[in-house]
Amino acid sequence: MGYCMRQQEIKFFIPSDEKGAALKRVKEKLQSGNYRWMNDSDWANAKTLEEMLEEWRWDAKVDEDGNIIGLTFEGEKAGDDLRFFGALAKHVKDGSFIHMLGEDGHQWKWVFEGGEVNEVAAKITFEK
């Protein structure tokens, strides 16, 4: 059993001319690791970045020019998403982010800036 999470909001972009390099980089960076709830051979054998994303349970939204302009997540967390997005971050447009809500109410964003991704926890406050 994995950890259930839901996508809340997203702004995400990978240009079409970066997809091949992004796929290669993710395969290189993640070749050694134990990713629970995943079959390594499935994602490692992906032929496209979209196939790779799908193995990690992220469906890519692609425009008519082949750019990835969004992602949709459904289901349980498949593996170490922060590590996955860290490998992908060099190819993601600055200012992109993914806002998630976990089954326990925890909220966070993965924020892409300068070729890196950071996980930022939500701070919830109540007005008086």
Model-level pTM greater than 0.85? yes
Q: From first to last of the 128 residues of the chain, give the pLDDT tens digit.
A: 567 889 999 999 999 999 999 999 998 888 766 565 566 566 778 899 999 999 888 999 999 999 999 999 976 776 688 989 999 999 999 999 999 999 899 999 999 999 999 999 999 888 88
Q: How many alpha carbons fall within 13 Å on the CB side of residue 24? A: 5
pLDDT the model gives residue 33: 61
- Sheet bearing 116-121, strands edge to edge: 5-11, 97-102, 107-113, 116-121
Give pLDDT tens digits for 66-88: 999 999 997 677 668 898 999 99
